[in-house]
């Protein structure tokens, strides 16, 4: 059947004809269309009701209609009719749809081996380099992304300061293990989870330990204070060394202060030291050093536990000016 306009093929869809009018001024040659035609044959151009030759009177590039000679002056004396549009240029505002009905693939590259299709109901299949690599489905309103090739991974790549990196690999041949390039980062402020098997916090850092006697640090001076910690969830591991140059004149129970996090209870770190080495403390040969956390605080009381006897809190009298304590223990927060 005879028709006017672009020849019918699988790359075009009929729509209502659209037009555009311009005013000529005798000097302007370029005019902007509302949409991009595929070629000069996709539009009809009239100047003063005279149809222009698409092979010589004008060219099109994107939305620019360029005349080889400036049309004469006149109000609305230039008229453009769009005859057809390619499928890829259908204007969503028109409300048009394209129904592939599962029987056709949307070809994305020049050699036609990268496509998107929906040949299985309710499933989108993505093919790259003529290989099905991914499909997307709906499962109870959950979006499910599936690697379609056995034992092949899902890999996320990016650009880090101009260098190409592989940021994350989901290893399908190893049960879906995550392999990151540079570790897993946690926010500076913990976002706590109620899940029993969720790691929601990790932190490493340093702290400055110290001593008090009877709750006071007056007159105490230090030769060295070193402390490091690792926090995993609500469990804190600390280790460090504190040595005195002067114990001061205060009296009362001895306590180690300056721990990095507040404890959650009064007894969760009682006698929990992993190791503790003492220099220049006044005790019997069978004495052992233990620790007892104070309720909701960051202070650990230092106690001595003699063989066969209960714990007795250490006091200023047990310390010399050059006392040093090396410690390591864990507590919860």
Task: Assess whether 80 and 16 both reside in one domain.
Answer: yes
Cα–Cα distance for residue pair 155/84, rounded to 1 Å: 41
Boundary-marking domain end, from 20, 54, 89: 89
Where does 235-307 show beta strands of DSSP type E?
A: 235-247, 254-257, 273-281, 287-293, 300-306
In the predicted model, is pLDDT for residue 109 greater than 90?
no
CB 41 within 8 Å of CB 58: no
Q: How many domains does the chain have?
A: 3
Q: How far is CA 218 from CA 215, 241, 242, 247, in A?
A: 9, 20, 16, 9
Task: Assess whether 123 and 72 both reside in one domain.
Answer: no
- Residue 112, in any domain of the structure: yes
- For the chain, the helix, strand and coil percentages under 3-state DSSP, each to the nearest 5: 5, 50, 45
Task: Assess whether 243 and 144 both reside in one domain.
Answer: no
Mean pLDDT along residues 221-248? 92
Domain around 31: 12-89
Cα–Cα distance for residue pair 28/26, rounded to 1 Å: 6
β-bridge pairing 123-128 and 177-180: unpaired
Task: Assess whether 71 and 113 both reside in one domain.
Answer: no
Task: Render pLDDT for 132-169 as a digit per residue (tens, 0 to 9).
Answer: 888 999 999 999 999 989 999 999 999 999 999 999 99
- Residue 322, in any domain of the structure: yes
pLDDT at 14: 46
R_g of the chain, CA atoms, integer Å? 39
Boundary-marking domain end, from 89, 117, 147: 89
Task: Render pLDDT for 241-258 as a digit per residue (tens, 0 to 9).
Answer: 998 999 888 888 888 888
In the predicted model, is pLDDT for residue 195 greater than 70?
yes
Question: For 241, phi and psi rounded to 5 degrees?
Answer: -150, 135
In the predicted model, is pLDDT for residue 54 greater than 60?
yes
- Residue 3, in any domain of the structure: no
In the predicted model, is pLDDT for residue 280 greater than 60?
no
Q: Which two tokens stand for residue 241?
A: 């060394």
Q: Which of 80-89, 197-206, 267-276, 287-296 has the lowest mean pLDDT?
A: 267-276
């Amino acid at each position: 059947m005879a028709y006017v306009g672009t020849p019918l093929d699988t790359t075009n869809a009929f729509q209502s004809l659209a037009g555009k009018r311009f005013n000529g001024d005798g000097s302007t040659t370029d005019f902007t269309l509302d949409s991009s035609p595929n070629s000069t044959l996709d539009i009809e151009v009239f100047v003063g009701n005279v149809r222009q030759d698409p092979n010589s009177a004008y060219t099109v590039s994107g939305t620019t209609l360029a005349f080889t000679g400036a049309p004469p002056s006149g109000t609305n004396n230039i008229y453009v009719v769009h005859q057809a549009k390619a499928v890829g240029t259908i204007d969503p505002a028109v409300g048009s749809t394209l129904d592939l009905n599962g029987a056709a693939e949307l070809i994305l590259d020049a050699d036609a081996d990268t496509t998107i299709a929906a040949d299985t109901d309710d499933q989108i299949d993505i093919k790259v380099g003529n290989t099905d690599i991914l499909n997307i489905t709906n499962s109870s309103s959950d979006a499910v992304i599936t690697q379609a090739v056995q034992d092949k991974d899902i890999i996320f790549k990016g650009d880090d300061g101009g260098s190409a990196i592989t940021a994350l690999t989901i290893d399908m041949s190893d049960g879906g293990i995550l392999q990151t390039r540079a570790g897993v980062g946690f926010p500076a402020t913990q976002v706590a989870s109620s899940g029993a098997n969720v790691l929601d916090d990790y932190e490493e850092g340093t702290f400055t330990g110290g001593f008090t006697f009877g709750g006071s640090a007056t007159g105490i001076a230090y030769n060295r204070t070193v402390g490091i910690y690792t926090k995993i969830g609500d469990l804190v591991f600390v280790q460090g060394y504190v040595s005195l140059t002067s114990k001061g004149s205060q009296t009362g129970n001895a306590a180690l202060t300056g721990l990095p996090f507040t404890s959650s209870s009064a007894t969760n770190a009682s006698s929990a030291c992993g190791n503790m080495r003492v220099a220049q403390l006044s005790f019997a040969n069978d004495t052992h050093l233990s620790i007892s956390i104070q309720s909701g605080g960051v202070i650990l009381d230092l106690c001595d536990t003699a063989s066969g006897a209960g714990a007795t809190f250490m006091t200023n009298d047990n310390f010399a000016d050059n006392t040093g304590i090396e410690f390591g223990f864990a507590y919860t927060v």
